[in-house]
A and B are shown apart, each in its own frame.
Chain A
């Protein structure tokens, strides 16, 4: 049995407290008045650093004031420009207000997708009757315990941003926007708040139900006299995988793609899936190495680590394949209604957008190609941390351009959101790990897995 060490418990609580403080700070400082934003923009225009666009907007409107007396035509122009200036300031004001919401949402989704990714991985291991992984099942089950709270939090933030907040994540939740936007209006049969919530709850219910039932049969199999529980677990896992691939796609449309309600991509669901799968497997590797270093997993050897690292390697490449396929098809045909998605990312997010390809592809492919390196724990840990950071940036790149635009930064709101959910993740996962022995007992492939050798 695993005991949650007091040190780790305190550590996770400290993370959560720091996170809550930082998130609170983010929300406190994000509500700027119109005048504040106006002076902020004027200052930026004055400094002229980087924000050339603002400078252009601010300058003519001041000129317009000066030329007010020159006749009606000029006056009208001036009004139009003042109007534009007002719109621009309001736009920036909204972006600044969105930042803590988006930061919170990105971090919440990131940790939820780790748990959800490993839930799919777990189901695949059982449905494919893998012989190497049963010694890691309890670690995976511990991780999947975060699916229910994590997903509820994500859905909660999404809904709260449209009810408590001022439509800070999903502009299609704003009835006024929908009223004036033909494209969103046409989609409102799918994108409307009640239906969004119902869909989300159905996804979460399905995933958590499988989590509950798999854990139940897995622990029941420990005490059973026959393999009935194993067979049930196998059937439920196969069924869940079918359910999962549908709901995961729809979840990615709902929870991520709809932040850009004018844009769509057909392989988006797979792309998000690749991201969650590889992050989940990476965290599995990190947790396994941690627990083994504490002496809780003597039955796990470097061959198991090698297999997990191979999955990290292969799915990093799979992620890159989907990322590139999505990008290249849109870049190549260059259809305006699709390509704006990447134009905004290329202009305002160049470093994170290109950087994540280095973090998620170039780095793992070079580090994990060698078979010997995949067996060295500290090597897998270092690479794993880079991969996780890269996939955080991936989610960041999906959400941020639609919510905060060029007002992005990885500062206090972002980092403290990560701390908050990292603390929560550690707390929930390690608490779940204490609930059952770390080695399955009567699982049919247990012996094979213990003696697994590559």
Chain B
């Protein structure tokens, strides 16, 4: 169950944030979320987030695209109506394969790119008219926010966070 109370520690510098994350991790506190205005290089490693598998999905989508291209053109050009078009050999797929490569390539890229983007949207829960989950609008401009769950240890957490250079520490009740 998600803790009903969280602490929002706000930083104004990404280097300070990085060292704060390392300190909080060293004290074995669980970081719920971090909000930054831009990608902070190495933040995922410091937080101990699992590496993304989106590249693997893209590879598989690419294979799907390649298969679609091959099956489609094999059916249309070879099986369904093998016409003689300008003397191209439509007897088997392999004989006319070079002519199909541009399409095979493009569909591979098309499937890999688009399906990967859609996967990304789904996994990150992003869509039009989605309600923004922004705890503090300043985090889209020049502030960094670390959210830590509180389990009755707010005093200890607050002193720890103050030590790490947070400019603002707020105790927020999440249960509405």
| A137 beta carbon closer than 8 Å to chain B | no
Q: Are A331 and B98 in contact (CB under 8 A)?
A: yes
| Nearest CB on A from B119, distance (A) | 18
Q: Are A334 and B99 in contact (CB under 8 A)?
A: no
User: Interface size (A, Cβ < 8 Å)?
Assistant: 8
In chain A, what residue has the closest Cβ to B88?
A332
| Nearest CB on A from B116, distance (A) | 14
Question: Which residues from A are CB-within-8-Å of B98?
Answer: 324, 327-328, 331-332
Q: Are A332 and B99 in contact (CB under 8 A)?
A: yes
- How many Å lie between the Cα of A324 and that of B98 in the bound state? 8
- How many Å lie between the Cα of A328 and that of B101 in the bound state? 9
Q: Are B101 and A334 in contact (CB under 8 A)?
A: no
| B87 beta carbon closer than 8 Å to chain A | yes
Interface flags, A313-327, vs B, CB<8A=1, else 0: 000000000001001
| A369 beta carbon closer than 8 Å to chain B | yes
A327-B98, A334-B87 known, 7 other contacts, Cβ within 8 Å? A324-B98, A324-B101, A328-B99, A332-B98, A332-B99, A369-B59, A371-B55
- How many Å lie between the Cα of A383 and that of B4 in the bound state? 53
Q: Which of B87, B98, B99, B101 has the most CB atoms of chain A within a 10 A radius of its CB?
A: B98
- Give the interface size bracket for B toward A: under 10
| Nearest CB on B from A354, distance (A) | 11
- How many Å lie between the Cα of A332 and that of B59 in the bound state? 30
In chain B, what residue has the closest Cβ to A333?
B86
| Nearest CB on B from A401, distance (A) | 19
In chain A, what residue has the closest Cβ to B98?
A328
- How many Å lie between the Cα of A327 and that of B99 in the bound state? 11
- How many Å lie between the Cα of A324 and that of B101 in the bound state? 9
In chain B, what residue has the closest Cβ to A321?
B105
Interface flags, A114-130, vs B, CB<8A=1, else 0: 00000000000000000
Q: Which residues of B contact A (CB under 8 A)?
A: 55, 59, 87, 98-99, 101
- How many Å lie between the Cα of A328 and that of B59 in the bound state? 26
Question: Which residues from B are CB-within-8-Å of A327?
Answer: 98
Question: Which residues from A are CB-within-8-Å of B99?
Answer: 328, 332
Question: Which residues from B are CB-within-8-Å of A334?
Answer: 87
- How many Å lie between the Cα of A294 and that of B55 in the bound state? 35
Within 26-77 of A, Cβ neighbours of B (below 8 Å) are at none
| Nearest CB on A from B112, distance (A) | 12
In chain A, what residue has the closest Cβ to B56?
A370
| Nearest CB on B from A213, distance (A) | 38
Question: Which residues from B are CB-within-8-Å of A324?
Answer: 98, 101
| Nearest CB on B from A98, distance (A) | 30
In chain B, what residue has the closest Cβ to A372?
B51
In chain B, what residue has the closest Cβ to A327?
B98
- How many Å lie between the Cα of A328 and that of B104 in the bound state? 14
- How many Å lie between the Cα of A327 and that of B98 in the bound state? 9
Listed by A's residue number, 11 A-B pairs whose Cβ atoms lie within 8 Å are A324-B101, A327-B98, A328-B98, A328-B99, A328-B101, A331-B98, A332-B98, A332-B99, A334-B87, A369-B59, A371-B55
| Nearest CB on B from A318, distance (A) | 14
Question: Which residues from A are CB-within-8-Å of B101?
Answer: 324, 328
| Nearest CB on B from A30, distance (A) | 36
In chain B, what residue has the closest Cβ to A330?
B98
Interface flags, A346-371, vs B, CB<8A=1, else 0: 00000000000000000000000101
Question: Which residues from A are CB-within-8-Å of B87?
Answer: 334
| Nearest CB on A from B19, distance (A) | 18
| Nearest CB on B from A132, distance (A) | 16
- How many Å lie between the Cα of A31 and that of B95 in the bound state? 40
| Nearest CB on B from A34, distance (A) | 41
| Nearest CB on B from A375, distance (A) | 14
